[in-house]
Amino acid sequence: MSFEYAPAPESRALVSIKPKYGHFIGGKFVAGGKHFPTINPATEEVLSQIALAGKAEVDAAVKAARKAYTTTWSKLSGKERGKYLYRIARIMQERAREFAVLETLDNGKPIRESRDTDIPLAAAHFFYHAGWADKLEYAGLGTSPKPLGVAGQIIPWNFPLLMLAWKVAPALAAGNTVVLKPAESTPLTALLFAEVCQQAELPAGVVNILTGDGSTGALIVNHPGIDKIAFTGSTEVGKIIARAVASTNKSVTLELGGKAANIVFDDAPIDETVEGIVNGIFFNQGHVCCAGSRLLLQENVAEEVLHKLKNRMEKIRVGDPMDKNTDVGAINSKEQLAKITELAAVGDAEGAERWSPACSLPAKGFWFAPTIFTGVTQAHRIAREEIFGPVLSVLTFRTPQEGIEKANNTPFGLSAGIWSEKGSRTLWASQQLRAGVIWANTFNKFDPTSPFGGYKESGWGREGGRHGLSAYLKGVSHE
Type of residue found at 404: I
Q: Does 7 participate in binding other proteins (rule CB under 8 A)?
A: no
Distance, in Å, from the CA atom of 263 to the CA atom of 426, rounded to the nearest integer, reads 10
Which range touches other proteins (CB under 8 A), out of 3-11, 20-28, 299-307, 459-467?
A: 459-467
Among 41, 108, 286, 453, binds other proteins (CB under 8 A): 453
> CB of 381 within 8 A of CB of 346?
yes
CB neighbour list of residue 87: distance below 8 Å, 6 or more residues apart: 200, 201, 202
Which one of the spans 77-85, 243-251, 371-379, 388-396 is the region binding other proteins (CB under 8 A)?
243-251
Which CB atom, from 128 or from 366, has the smaller least distance to other proteins? 128
- The DSSP secondary structure of 224-255, one letter per residue, reads TT--EEEEES-HHHHHHHHHHTTTS--EEEEE
Touching other proteins, residues 15-54 (CB under 8 A):
none
Decide: is 450 part of the binding site for other proteins (CB under 8 A): yes
Task: State how far the Cα of 265 lies from the Cα of 273, in Å rounded to an integer.
Answer: 10
Q: Which of residues 392-421 bind other proteins (CB under 8 A)?
A: 411
CB of 35 to other proteins, least distance (A): 34
- x/- map, 194-233, other proteins, by CB under 8 A: ----------------------------------------
| Closest approach of other proteins to the CB of residue 445, in Å | 5
Our CA dihedral for 283, 287, 291, 295, rounded to 10 degrees, sits at 80
By CB neighbour count within 10 A (0-12 exposed, 13-18 middle, 19+ buried), where does 366 fall? Answer: buried
Of 337, 318, 265, the C-alpha closest to 295 is 265
Task: Report helix, strand or coil for 14.
Answer: coil
Q: With binding defined as CB under 8 A, does residue 247 bind other proteins?
A: yes
Interaction of residue 381 with other proteins, rule CB under 8 A: no
For β-strands 391-397 and 415-419, DSSP reports them as unpaired
The one-letter amino acid at 479? E
Which among 264, 265, 270, 260 has a CA at the least distance from the CA of 292? 260
Does residue number 256 form part of the binding site for other proteins (CB under 8 A)? yes
For residue 220, give Cα distances in angstroms to 26, 34, 62: 16, 18, 8
Cα–Cα–Cα angle for 91, 96, 72, nearest 5°? Answer: 30
Rounded to 10 deg, the angle between the 96-107 and 188-199 helix axes is 160
Q: Please tell me whether residue 379 binds other proteins under the rule CB under 8 A.
A: no
Q: Counting contacts by CB under 8 A, is residue 341 touching other proteins?
A: no
Q: Does 452 bind other proteins (CB under 8 A)?
A: yes
* Using rule CB under 8 A, residue 447 touches other proteins: yes
Which residue in 189, 216, 235, 273 binds other proteins (CB under 8 A)? 235
Distance, in Å, from the CA atom of 304 to the CA atom of 307, rounded to the nearest integer, reads 5
| Using rule CB under 8 A, residue 254 touches other proteins | yes
Which of 455, 469, 472, 474 binds other proteins (CB under 8 A)? It is: 455
Q: Per-residue x/- marks for other proteins, 101-140, CB under 8 A?
A: -----------------------x---------------x
Verify binding: residue 364, other proteins, rule CB under 8 A. Answer: no
Q: How far is the CB of 421 from other proteins (least distance, A)?
A: 12
Q: Report yes or no: 438 and 454 within 8 Å, Cβ to Cβ.
A: no
By CB under 8 A, tell whether 477 contacts other proteins.
yes
Using CB atoms within 10 Å of the CB of residue 356, give its burial: 0 to 12 exposed, 13 to 18 middle, 19+ buried: middle
Stretch that binds other proteins, among 83-91, 153-161, 278-286, 469-477 (CB under 8 A): 469-477
- The count of residues interacting with other proteins (CB under 8 A) is 44
445 touches other proteins by CB under 8 A: yes
Q: Which stretch binds other proteins (CB under 8 A): 147-155, 282-290, 319-327, 452-460?
A: 452-460
Q: Which is nearer to other proteins, 96 or 359 (CB)?
A: 96
Report which of 86, 122, 67 is spatially closest to residue 201, judged by C-alpha positions.
86
SS3 25: strand
Question: If DSSP codes are grouped into helix, strand and coil, which group holds residue 285?
Answer: helix
**Which residues carry out catalysis?**
255, 289
The yes or no reply on residue 283 touching other proteins (CB under 8 A) is no
Does 457 bind other proteins (CB under 8 A)? Our answer is yes
Residues that bind other proteins (CB under 8 A): 124, 140, 235, 238-239, 242-243, 246-248, 254, 256, 411, 426, 430, 435-442, 445, 447, 449-453, 455-457, 459-460, 462, 465-467, 475-479
